[in-house]
Amino acid sequence: MKKTHRDFEIQTLGKPKIPSPLSVGYFKGDDERVLCDIHIDSRKVLPAGPLRSMSLEVAGPRAMIYFEPQKVKAAVVSCGGLCPGINDVIRALVMELWFRYGVRNIIGVRYGLQGLIPRYGHDFMELTPEVVKDIQDLGGSILSSSRGNQDIVELVDSLERMNINLFFVIGGDGTMKAAQLITEETKRRKLKVGVIGIPKTIDNDLVLIQKSFGFDTAISEAVKTIQCAHVEAKGAPMGIGLVKLMGRQSGHIAASAALAQGDANFVLIPEEPFDLEGEKGFLRHLEKRLIARNHAVIIVAEGAGQDLFSRKGPVRRDASGNIRLNDIGVHLKERIEEYFRKKKIEINLKYIDPSYIIRSVPANASDSILCGVLAQYAVHAGMAGKTGMLVGLVNDAYVHLPFRAVASRRKNIDPRGNIWMLVLESTGQPPSMKN
Protein backbone atom coordinates (compact mmCIF):
# COMPACT_ATOMS: atom_id res chain seq x y z
CA MET A 1 0.00 0.00 0.00
CA LYS A 2 1.41 3.36 -1.02
CA LYS A 3 1.45 6.45 1.12
CA THR A 4 -1.20 8.91 0.05
CA HIS A 5 -1.96 12.59 0.46
CA ARG A 6 -3.99 11.85 3.59
CA ASP A 7 -1.03 10.23 5.32
CA PHE A 8 0.54 13.68 5.54
CA GLU A 9 -2.49 15.66 6.67
CA ILE A 10 -1.93 17.76 9.79
CA GLN A 11 -4.17 17.50 12.85
CA THR A 12 -5.86 20.62 14.19
CA LEU A 13 -7.43 21.46 17.53
CA GLY A 14 -10.35 23.23 15.93
CA LYS A 15 -11.28 25.94 13.49
CA PRO A 16 -9.14 29.10 13.82
CA LYS A 17 -11.47 32.05 14.41
CA ILE A 18 -9.19 34.78 15.79
CA PRO A 19 -7.53 37.30 13.46
CA SER A 20 -3.75 37.06 13.65
CA PRO A 21 -2.00 39.96 15.41
CA LEU A 22 0.73 39.80 12.77
CA SER A 23 0.69 42.63 10.25
CA VAL A 24 2.26 40.72 7.42
CA GLY A 25 1.27 40.26 3.83
CA TYR A 26 2.59 36.74 3.40
CA PHE A 27 0.01 34.67 5.25
CA LYS A 28 -0.18 31.07 4.13
CA GLY A 29 -3.28 28.96 3.67
CA ASP A 30 -3.74 25.32 4.60
CA ASP A 31 -4.50 24.65 0.94
CA GLU A 32 -1.02 25.81 -0.08
CA ARG A 33 1.07 22.70 -0.51
CA VAL A 34 4.32 21.61 -2.11
CA LEU A 35 5.00 18.49 -4.13
CA CYS A 36 8.11 16.59 -3.13
CA ASP A 37 9.43 13.94 -5.50
CA ILE A 38 11.62 11.99 -3.12
CA HIS A 39 13.99 9.37 -4.49
CA ILE A 40 14.58 6.91 -1.67
CA ASP A 41 14.97 3.20 -1.12
CA SER A 42 11.57 2.38 0.35
CA ARG A 43 12.92 -0.83 1.89
CA LYS A 44 15.08 1.27 4.21
CA VAL A 45 12.63 4.07 4.91
CA LEU A 46 8.97 3.07 4.93
CA PRO A 47 7.64 -0.44 4.39
CA ALA A 48 4.51 0.88 2.72
CA GLY A 49 6.28 1.66 -0.55
CA PRO A 50 8.05 4.55 -2.26
CA LEU A 51 6.93 8.08 -1.52
CA ARG A 52 6.53 10.03 -4.73
CA SER A 53 5.04 13.47 -5.29
CA MET A 54 3.88 13.81 -1.70
CA SER A 55 1.73 16.83 -1.06
CA LEU A 56 2.91 18.60 2.08
CA GLU A 57 1.34 21.53 3.91
CA VAL A 58 3.40 24.71 3.63
CA ALA A 59 4.68 26.23 6.88
CA GLY A 60 4.18 29.88 7.72
CA PRO A 61 1.86 32.34 9.52
CA ARG A 62 -1.89 31.97 9.13
CA ALA A 63 -4.30 34.91 8.84
CA MET A 64 -6.58 33.32 11.45
CA ILE A 65 -5.29 31.71 14.63
CA TYR A 66 -6.83 29.33 17.16
CA PHE A 67 -5.50 30.57 20.50
CA GLU A 68 -6.02 33.94 22.16
CA PRO A 69 -2.41 35.04 22.77
CA GLN A 70 -3.12 36.67 26.14
CA LYS A 71 -4.47 33.37 27.50
CA VAL A 72 -1.79 31.07 26.11
CA LYS A 73 0.59 29.22 28.40
CA ALA A 74 3.47 27.70 26.44
CA ALA A 75 6.14 25.21 27.48
CA VAL A 76 9.45 24.37 25.80
CA VAL A 77 11.55 21.24 26.32
CA SER A 78 14.78 19.91 24.76
CA CYS A 79 15.48 16.18 24.85
CA GLY A 80 18.22 13.74 23.93
CA GLY A 81 21.87 14.51 23.30
CA LEU A 82 23.29 18.00 23.05
CA CYS A 83 23.59 19.60 19.64
CA PRO A 84 24.72 23.00 18.33
CA GLY A 85 21.73 25.31 17.96
CA ILE A 86 19.39 24.21 20.76
CA ASN A 87 19.72 27.57 22.47
CA ASP A 88 19.08 29.34 19.17
CA VAL A 89 15.79 27.46 18.86
CA ILE A 90 14.77 28.22 22.45
CA ARG A 91 15.57 31.91 22.00
CA ALA A 92 13.69 32.16 18.69
CA LEU A 93 10.62 30.42 20.17
CA VAL A 94 10.49 32.86 23.07
CA MET A 95 11.10 35.95 20.94
CA GLU A 96 8.44 34.95 18.41
CA LEU A 97 5.84 34.11 21.05
CA TRP A 98 6.54 37.24 23.10
CA PHE A 99 7.02 39.98 20.52
CA ARG A 100 5.01 38.75 17.54
CA TYR A 101 2.03 37.17 19.27
CA GLY A 102 2.06 38.80 22.70
CA VAL A 103 2.30 35.57 24.68
CA ARG A 104 3.59 36.38 28.17
CA ASN A 105 3.46 33.00 29.91
CA ILE A 106 6.31 30.80 28.69
CA ILE A 107 8.06 28.18 30.80
CA GLY A 108 11.11 26.04 30.16
CA VAL A 109 10.94 22.38 31.18
CA ARG A 110 14.35 21.45 32.56
CA TYR A 111 16.24 18.19 31.98
CA GLY A 112 14.08 16.90 29.16
CA LEU A 113 10.80 15.13 29.76
CA GLN A 114 11.99 14.28 33.28
CA GLY A 115 11.13 17.89 34.07
CA LEU A 116 7.41 17.12 33.77
CA ILE A 117 7.55 14.22 36.23
CA PRO A 118 7.18 15.50 39.84
CA ARG A 119 9.28 12.78 41.48
CA TYR A 120 12.45 14.03 39.76
CA GLY A 121 12.08 17.38 41.50
CA HIS A 122 13.32 19.57 38.64
CA ASP A 123 12.32 23.23 38.80
CA PHE A 124 10.79 24.99 35.81
CA MET A 125 12.42 28.04 34.26
CA GLU A 126 10.49 31.17 33.36
CA LEU A 127 11.44 32.17 29.82
CA THR A 128 11.39 35.84 28.87
CA PRO A 129 13.31 37.89 26.29
CA GLU A 130 15.65 39.03 29.06
CA VAL A 131 16.44 35.43 30.02
CA VAL A 132 17.17 34.28 26.45
CA LYS A 133 18.70 37.41 24.95
CA ASP A 134 22.30 36.11 24.68
CA ILE A 135 21.93 32.34 24.87
CA GLN A 136 22.62 31.88 21.15
CA ASP A 137 26.30 32.44 22.00
CA LEU A 138 26.35 29.46 24.35
CA GLY A 139 26.72 25.78 23.55
CA GLY A 140 24.40 23.13 24.92
CA SER A 141 20.93 23.96 26.22
CA ILE A 142 20.00 26.39 28.98
CA LEU A 143 17.19 23.94 29.82
CA SER A 144 19.63 21.01 29.95
CA SER A 145 18.43 17.63 28.69
CA SER A 146 18.01 13.96 29.51
CA ARG A 147 17.48 10.59 27.88
CA GLY A 148 15.08 7.82 28.72
CA ASN A 149 11.44 6.92 28.37
CA GLN A 150 8.88 8.58 30.63
CA ASP A 151 5.31 7.54 31.32
CA ILE A 152 3.07 9.26 28.76
CA VAL A 153 0.09 9.41 31.13
CA GLU A 154 2.22 11.17 33.77
CA LEU A 155 3.54 13.61 31.17
CA VAL A 156 0.07 14.56 30.01
CA ASP A 157 -1.13 14.73 33.62
CA SER A 158 1.50 17.44 34.16
CA LEU A 159 0.56 19.34 31.01
CA GLU A 160 -3.09 19.25 32.10
CA ARG A 161 -2.31 20.22 35.68
CA MET A 162 -0.20 23.18 34.51
CA ASN A 163 -2.82 24.31 31.95
CA ILE A 164 -0.32 24.16 29.09
CA ASN A 165 -1.81 25.14 25.70
CA LEU A 166 1.30 24.90 23.51
CA PHE A 167 4.04 22.34 24.03
CA PHE A 168 7.19 22.80 21.91
CA VAL A 169 9.41 19.71 21.80
CA ILE A 170 13.01 19.85 20.53
CA GLY A 171 14.50 16.43 19.85
CA GLY A 172 15.30 13.55 17.53
CA ASP A 173 13.37 10.55 16.31
CA GLY A 174 12.85 9.04 19.77
CA THR A 175 11.58 12.36 21.09
CA MET A 176 9.24 12.74 18.12
CA LYS A 177 7.82 9.28 18.85
CA ALA A 178 7.16 10.39 22.43
CA ALA A 179 5.57 13.61 21.16
CA GLN A 180 3.26 11.56 18.95
CA LEU A 181 2.16 9.51 21.97
CA ILE A 182 1.61 12.71 23.96
CA THR A 183 -0.52 14.03 21.10
CA GLU A 184 -2.63 10.88 21.10
CA GLU A 185 -3.13 11.01 24.85
CA THR A 186 -4.16 14.69 24.82
CA LYS A 187 -6.60 13.89 22.03
CA ARG A 188 -8.03 10.96 23.99
CA ARG A 189 -8.64 13.29 26.92
CA LYS A 190 -10.08 15.98 24.61
CA LEU A 191 -7.44 18.47 25.80
CA LYS A 192 -6.77 21.49 23.62
CA VAL A 193 -2.99 21.20 23.67
CA GLY A 194 -0.93 21.87 20.57
CA VAL A 195 2.14 19.62 20.44
CA ILE A 196 4.71 20.97 17.99
CA GLY A 197 8.15 19.49 17.26
CA ILE A 198 11.42 21.02 16.12
CA PRO A 199 13.57 18.17 14.76
CA LYS A 200 17.04 17.85 16.28
CA THR A 201 19.65 15.33 15.22
CA ILE A 202 23.27 16.22 14.69
CA ASP A 203 23.60 13.09 12.53
CA ASN A 204 21.11 14.55 9.99
CA ASP A 205 19.39 11.17 9.78
CA LEU A 206 15.70 12.01 10.22
CA VAL A 207 13.84 10.57 7.27
CA LEU A 208 12.28 13.09 4.85
CA ILE A 209 14.07 16.03 6.52
CA GLN A 210 16.55 17.62 4.13
CA LYS A 211 18.76 19.10 6.83
CA SER A 212 18.49 19.26 10.59
CA PHE A 213 20.04 22.00 12.68
CA GLY A 214 23.51 21.39 14.12
CA PHE A 215 24.65 19.39 11.10
CA ASP A 216 26.44 22.28 9.36
CA THR A 217 28.22 23.19 12.59
CA ALA A 218 29.25 19.57 13.10
CA ILE A 219 30.80 19.50 9.62
CA SER A 220 32.70 22.74 10.26
CA GLU A 221 34.09 21.44 13.54
CA ALA A 222 34.86 17.98 12.15
CA VAL A 223 36.87 19.55 9.33
CA LYS A 224 39.16 21.21 11.90
CA THR A 225 39.83 17.82 13.47
CA ILE A 226 40.54 16.21 10.10
CA GLN A 227 43.01 18.99 9.31
CA CYS A 228 44.82 18.25 12.58
CA ALA A 229 44.82 14.52 11.84
CA HIS A 230 46.30 15.22 8.41
CA VAL A 231 49.07 17.35 9.91
CA GLU A 232 49.86 14.62 12.44
CA ALA A 233 49.88 11.93 9.76
CA LYS A 234 52.31 13.85 7.57
CA GLY A 235 54.47 14.79 10.56
CA ALA A 236 55.99 11.34 11.03
CA PRO A 237 57.06 8.42 8.83
CA MET A 238 54.23 6.01 8.11
CA GLY A 239 51.88 8.37 9.91
CA ILE A 240 48.20 7.58 10.38
CA GLY A 241 45.52 10.03 11.52
CA LEU A 242 42.39 8.19 12.71
CA VAL A 243 39.29 10.29 13.45
CA LYS A 244 36.03 8.96 14.88
CA LEU A 245 32.95 11.08 14.19
CA MET A 246 29.28 10.89 15.15
CA GLY A 247 26.90 8.70 13.17
CA ARG A 248 25.19 5.82 14.95
CA GLN A 249 23.22 4.49 12.00
CA SER A 250 24.23 6.78 9.16
CA GLY A 251 27.46 8.28 7.91
CA HIS A 252 26.29 11.73 6.85
CA ILE A 253 28.76 13.65 9.03
CA ALA A 254 31.70 11.43 8.08
CA ALA A 255 30.90 11.64 4.36
CA SER A 256 30.22 15.38 4.31
CA ALA A 257 33.30 16.21 6.38
CA ALA A 258 35.44 14.13 4.03
CA LEU A 259 34.06 16.00 1.03
CA ALA A 260 34.49 19.38 2.74
CA GLN A 261 38.16 18.84 3.59
CA GLY A 262 39.46 16.42 0.95
CA ASP A 263 42.30 15.04 3.12
CA ALA A 264 40.69 11.71 4.01
CA ASN A 265 41.92 8.55 2.32
CA PHE A 266 39.37 6.20 3.88
CA VAL A 267 35.82 6.86 5.10
CA LEU A 268 34.08 4.05 6.97
CA ILE A 269 30.32 4.33 7.53
CA PRO A 270 27.53 2.10 8.91
CA GLU A 271 25.86 1.76 5.51
CA GLU A 272 28.90 0.14 3.86
CA PRO A 273 30.19 -3.03 5.60
CA PHE A 274 33.88 -3.83 5.37
CA ASP A 275 36.32 -6.56 6.34
CA LEU A 276 39.55 -5.90 8.20
CA GLU A 277 41.60 -8.90 7.13
CA GLY A 278 42.08 -10.46 3.71
CA GLU A 279 43.42 -9.25 0.39
CA LYS A 280 40.40 -6.98 -0.17
CA GLY A 281 40.09 -5.97 3.47
CA PHE A 282 40.66 -2.51 4.89
CA LEU A 283 44.03 -3.26 6.52
CA ARG A 284 45.56 -4.46 3.27
CA HIS A 285 44.38 -1.33 1.46
CA LEU A 286 45.76 0.82 4.28
CA GLU A 287 49.12 -0.90 3.94
CA LYS A 288 49.19 -0.19 0.21
CA ARG A 289 48.36 3.46 0.85
CA LEU A 290 51.16 3.84 3.41
CA ILE A 291 53.71 2.21 1.16
CA ALA A 292 52.71 4.48 -1.72
CA ARG A 293 52.34 7.82 0.15
CA ASN A 294 53.87 7.31 3.61
CA HIS A 295 50.80 8.64 5.43
CA ALA A 296 47.01 8.12 5.61
CA VAL A 297 43.94 9.79 7.11
CA ILE A 298 40.98 7.64 8.17
CA ILE A 299 37.49 8.82 9.15
CA VAL A 300 35.19 6.34 10.83
CA ALA A 301 31.58 6.92 11.89
CA GLU A 302 30.76 5.62 15.37
CA GLY A 303 28.25 3.08 14.05
CA ALA A 304 30.53 1.63 11.36
CA GLY A 305 31.88 -1.91 11.55
CA GLN A 306 29.60 -3.13 14.32
CA ASP A 307 29.41 -6.52 12.62
CA LEU A 308 33.14 -6.95 13.36
CA PHE A 309 32.36 -7.48 17.05
CA SER A 310 31.17 -10.79 18.45
CA ARG A 311 27.90 -10.43 20.36
CA LYS A 312 27.63 -12.35 23.61
CA GLY A 313 24.62 -12.16 25.87
CA PRO A 314 21.61 -9.87 25.52
CA VAL A 315 21.72 -6.68 23.50
CA ARG A 316 22.62 -3.72 25.72
CA ARG A 317 20.66 -0.50 25.35
CA ASP A 318 21.05 3.01 26.68
CA ALA A 319 18.41 5.05 28.52
CA SER A 320 16.80 6.07 25.23
CA GLY A 321 16.49 2.48 24.03
CA ASN A 322 19.32 2.76 21.51
CA ILE A 323 21.61 -0.24 21.14
CA ARG A 324 24.91 0.44 22.90
CA LEU A 325 27.55 0.52 20.21
CA ASN A 326 30.94 -1.08 20.50
CA ASP A 327 33.77 1.46 20.22
CA ILE A 328 34.86 1.07 16.62
CA GLY A 329 37.46 3.85 16.99
CA VAL A 330 39.45 2.13 19.73
CA HIS A 331 38.96 -1.27 18.08
CA LEU A 332 40.25 0.02 14.74
CA LYS A 333 43.25 1.64 16.44
CA GLU A 334 44.17 -1.61 18.17
CA ARG A 335 43.70 -3.76 15.05
CA ILE A 336 45.78 -1.41 12.90
CA GLU A 337 48.60 -1.41 15.43
CA GLU A 338 48.45 -5.21 15.75
CA TYR A 339 48.46 -5.72 11.96
CA PHE A 340 51.58 -3.64 11.34
CA ARG A 341 53.35 -4.95 14.45
CA LYS A 342 53.01 -8.49 13.08
CA LYS A 343 54.44 -7.30 9.77
CA LYS A 344 57.28 -5.57 11.64
CA ILE A 345 56.34 -2.25 10.03
CA GLU A 346 56.69 0.75 12.33
CA ILE A 347 53.78 3.18 12.16
CA ASN A 348 52.89 6.40 13.96
CA LEU A 349 49.15 6.41 14.69
CA LYS A 350 47.26 9.31 16.26
CA TYR A 351 43.65 8.64 17.31
CA ILE A 352 41.24 11.58 17.78
CA ASP A 353 37.63 11.45 19.00
CA PRO A 354 36.16 15.00 19.01
CA SER A 355 32.51 13.94 19.37
CA TYR A 356 31.61 15.67 22.64
CA ILE A 357 33.56 18.78 21.70
CA ILE A 358 31.61 19.06 18.45
CA ARG A 359 28.25 18.52 20.17
CA SER A 360 28.90 21.26 22.72
CA VAL A 361 29.90 24.24 20.57
CA PRO A 362 27.54 27.11 19.66
CA ALA A 363 25.85 26.96 16.24
CA ASN A 364 27.53 28.57 13.26
CA ALA A 365 25.80 31.22 11.16
CA SER A 366 24.13 28.77 8.78
CA ASP A 367 22.66 26.67 11.58
CA SER A 368 21.58 29.78 13.52
CA ILE A 369 19.50 30.89 10.55
CA LEU A 370 17.93 27.44 10.23
CA CYS A 371 17.16 27.34 13.97
CA GLY A 372 15.46 30.72 13.86
CA VAL A 373 13.27 29.86 10.89
CA LEU A 374 12.23 26.46 12.30
CA ALA A 375 11.29 28.05 15.62
CA GLN A 376 9.31 30.88 14.04
CA TYR A 377 7.35 28.49 11.84
CA ALA A 378 6.74 26.20 14.84
CA VAL A 379 5.15 29.12 16.71
CA HIS A 380 2.99 30.01 13.69
CA ALA A 381 1.79 26.40 13.49
CA GLY A 382 1.05 26.19 17.21
CA MET A 383 -0.86 29.47 17.37
CA ALA A 384 -2.94 28.36 14.38
CA GLY A 385 -4.09 25.29 16.31
CA LYS A 386 -1.91 22.67 14.64
CA THR A 387 -0.81 19.64 16.65
CA GLY A 388 0.92 16.28 16.27
CA MET A 389 3.42 17.74 13.82
CA LEU A 390 6.87 19.18 13.35
CA VAL A 391 8.35 21.79 11.07
CA GLY A 392 11.02 20.60 8.65
CA LEU A 393 12.95 21.56 5.55
CA VAL A 394 12.03 19.29 2.65
CA ASN A 395 13.38 19.97 -0.84
CA ASP A 396 14.18 23.60 0.05
CA ALA A 397 10.66 24.26 1.37
CA TYR A 398 9.57 24.59 5.01
CA VAL A 399 6.61 22.29 5.58
CA HIS A 400 4.48 20.65 8.27
CA LEU A 401 5.02 16.92 8.78
CA PRO A 402 3.14 14.56 11.11
CA PHE A 403 5.30 13.02 13.83
CA ARG A 404 4.55 9.53 12.55
CA ALA A 405 6.01 10.30 9.10
CA VAL A 406 9.39 11.36 10.49
CA ALA A 407 9.76 8.91 13.38
CA SER A 408 9.33 5.84 11.15
CA ARG A 409 12.91 5.09 10.07
CA ARG A 410 16.35 6.67 9.71
CA LYS A 411 17.72 8.44 6.65
CA ASN A 412 20.77 6.58 5.39
CA ILE A 413 23.46 7.14 2.79
CA ASP A 414 22.82 5.09 -0.33
CA PRO A 415 26.05 3.16 -1.10
CA ARG A 416 25.05 3.38 -4.75
CA GLY A 417 24.04 7.05 -4.61
CA ASN A 418 25.74 10.26 -5.63
CA ILE A 419 27.07 11.26 -2.20
CA TRP A 420 28.92 8.01 -1.65
CA MET A 421 30.26 8.02 -5.21
CA LEU A 422 31.67 11.49 -4.57
CA VAL A 423 33.31 10.23 -1.37
CA LEU A 424 34.92 7.34 -3.22
CA GLU A 425 36.26 9.73 -5.85
CA SER A 426 37.58 12.13 -3.21
CA THR A 427 39.32 9.49 -1.08
CA GLY A 428 40.42 7.06 -3.77
CA GLN A 429 39.36 4.14 -1.59
CA PRO A 430 38.01 1.02 -3.32
CA PRO A 431 34.21 0.74 -3.82
CA SER A 432 34.18 -2.33 -1.60
CA MET A 433 36.47 -3.65 1.12
CA LYS A 434 34.65 -6.95 1.51
CA ASN A 435 36.42 -10.20 0.60
Q: Are residues 231 and 122 in the same domain?
A: no
Q: In which domain, by residue range, is 250 found?
A: 215-305+318-360+415-427
Q: What is the pLDDT of residue 51?
A: 46
Residue 395 lies in a domain: yes
Q: What is the pLDDT of residue 50?
A: 44
- The chain-wide mean pLDDT, for the chain, equals 91
Q: What is the pLDDT of residue 44?
A: 43
Residue 313 lies in a domain: no
Q: Are residues 334 and 355 in the same domain?
A: yes
Mean pLDDT of 63-84: 96
Residue 137 lies in a domain: yes
Q: Are residues 222 and 77 in the same domain?
A: no
Q: What is the pLDDT of residue 409?
A: 73
Q: Are residues 228 and 192 in the same domain?
A: no
SS3 track for the chain: CCCCHHHHCCEECCCCCEECCCCCCCCCCCCCEEEECCCCCHHHHCCCCCCCCEEEEECCCCCEECCCHHHCEEEEEECCCCCCCHHHHHHHHHHHHHHHCCCCEEEEECCHHHHHCHHHCCCCEECCHHHHCCHHHCCCCCCCCCCCCCCHHHHHHHHHHCCCCEEEEEECHHHHHHHHHHHHHHHHCCCCCEEEEEEECCCCCECCCCCCECHHHHHHHHHHHHHHHHHHHHCCCCEEEEEEECCCCCCHHHHHHHHHHCCCCEEECCCCCECCCCCCCHHHHHHHHHHHHCEEEEEEECCCCHHHCCCCCCCCECCCCCECCCCHHHHHHHHHHHHHHHCCCCCEEEEECCHHHHHHCCCCHHHHHHHHHHHHHHHHHHHCCEECEEEEEECCEEEEEEHHHHCCCECCCCCCCHHHHHHHHHHCCCCCECC
Q: What is the pLDDT of residue 95?
A: 98
**Is residue 221's pLDDT more than 60?**
yes
Q: Are residues 274 and 347 in the same domain?
A: yes
Q: Are residues 20 and 161 in the same domain?
A: yes
Contacts of 330 (CB under 8 A, 6+ apart): 351
pLDDT digit string, tens, across residues 151-206: 999 999 999 999 999 999 999 888 999 999 999 999 999 999 999 999 998 888 88
**Is residue 317's pLDDT more than 90?**
no
Q: What is the CATH number of the domain that holds 388?
A: 3.40.50.450
**Of 271 and 51, the one with more pLDDT:** 271
Residue 221 lies in a domain: yes
Q: Are residues 60 and 43 in the same domain?
A: yes
Residue 434 lies in a domain: no
Q: What is the pLDDT of residue 74?
A: 98
pLDDT digit string, tens, across residues 255-301: 999 999 899 999 999 999 999 999 999 999 999 999 999 999 999 99
Output the CA–CA distances (angstroms, integers) from residue 197 to 18, 312, 404, in the order listed. Answer: 23, 38, 12
Q: Are residues 386 and 325 in the same domain?
A: no
Q: Are residues 293 and 337 in the same domain?
A: yes
Q: What is the pLDDT of residue 42?
A: 40
Q: Are residues 54 and 29 in the same domain?
A: yes
Q: What is the pLDDT of residue 406?
A: 81
Instruction: Indicate the range of 4-8, 139-143, 183-187, 422-426 predicted with least confidence.
Output: 4-8
* Position 319 confidence tier, pLDDT thresholds 50, 70, 90: low
Q: What is the pLDDT of residue 173?
A: 87
**Is residue 123's pLDDT more than 90?**
yes
Q: Are residues 334 and 378 in the same domain?
A: no
**Of 325 and 386, the one with more pLDDT:** 386
Q: What is the pLDDT of residue 117?
A: 96
**Is residue 349's pLDDT more than 80?**
yes
* Position 404 confidence tier, pLDDT thresholds 50, 70, 90: confident
* Position 7 confidence tier, pLDDT thresholds 50, 70, 90: low
Q: Are residues 263 and 397 in the same domain?
A: no
d(CA 245, CA 252): 10
Residues belonging to the active site: 203
**Is residue 369's pLDDT more than 80?**
yes
Q: What is the pLDDT of residue 177?
A: 93
Q: How many domains does the chain have?
A: 2
